[in-house]
Amino acid sequence: MTKSLTMLLLASLLVAISPTHAAADVEPGFVPLFNGKDLSGWKLRQADGHPSWTILPGGILKNTVEKGVHGTDLVTEKKYWNFTVRYEYMTPDKSNSGFYLRGRHEIQILGDYSTGEATPTGNGAIYNFKAPDKFVTKPGGEWQTAEASIIGHRITVILNGVKIHDNVECTTATGSELDRNVNEPGQIFLQGNHGTVSFRNLRIKELPKDE
């Protein structure tokens, strides 16, 4: 009886810990961009900008923009060249933000579920450059998942499980960029001066420069 009970407890323990191990192996090569506790590795685009970013329980990074007040953009201290980045975001309806690759190419974030239409300035667009191939925006207040890869000057984006940009060549900055040095590494840039947005589970995998 004692031996059986011991075996049962061991089996239960293995079941309990195995998902954690599995989760750690699901995304080999990815490292967190945000530690869920503080802004280590990040800085405000304008040092004297309005402090609109807060950290909420559950590792949520939230930018709150009240009516008539501009928030402040947030950028990584590190610069990147080729990479895949994964993140989740949530906005209220009609709120406006953006996720910039190398600080120059904006993947638009917009609470435009009610429009039902993919546009060059809509959610998931390479801003004012190319509309998503398909409209897959979720309603305001729901988490959306994104994966963006940039290799050389080509961008691929998967939004909510659907590929909406496939190896799109983009050799120009798309607006509100940190700079226009498109042939150099650049920072990850979270747009904070337009509207309220929340992020979580930001992680990145650097890719070989010649991939």
Q: What is the pLDDT along the chain (211 residues), one digit of tens a residue?
A: 444 444 434 444 343 433 333 344 479 999 999 999 999 999 999 877 777 999 999 999 999 998 777 789 999 999 999 999 999 999 999 999 999 999 999 999 999 999 999 999 999 999 999 999 999 999 999 999 999 999 999 999 999 999 999 999 999 999 999 999 999 999 999 999 889 999 999 999 999 987 5
2 belongs to a structural domain: no
Q: What is the pLDDT of residue 8?
A: 39
- CATH number at 54 reads 2.60.120.560
In a domain, 5, yes or no: no
* Phi, psi for 150 (deg, rounded to 5): -130, 125
What is the reported pLDDT for 107? Answer: 98
Q: Is residue 19 part of a domain?
A: no
In a domain, 160, yes or no: yes
Number of domains in the chain: 1
Report if residue 3 sits inside a domain.
Answer: no
Q: Which position has the token pair 């390479």?
A: 126
Backbone angles phi, psi at 16, to 5 degrees: -70, -35
Q: Is residue 24 part of a domain?
A: no
Q: Domain containing 193: what range? A: 31-206
Answer whether residue 6 is part of any domain.
no
State the pTM of this model. Answer: 0.87
Report yes or no on 22 lying in a domain: no
SS3 169: strand
Residue with tokens 């983009």: 170
Smallest Cα–Cα separation from 156: which of 130, 135, 138?
A: 130
pLDDT at residue 100, rounded to an integer: 98
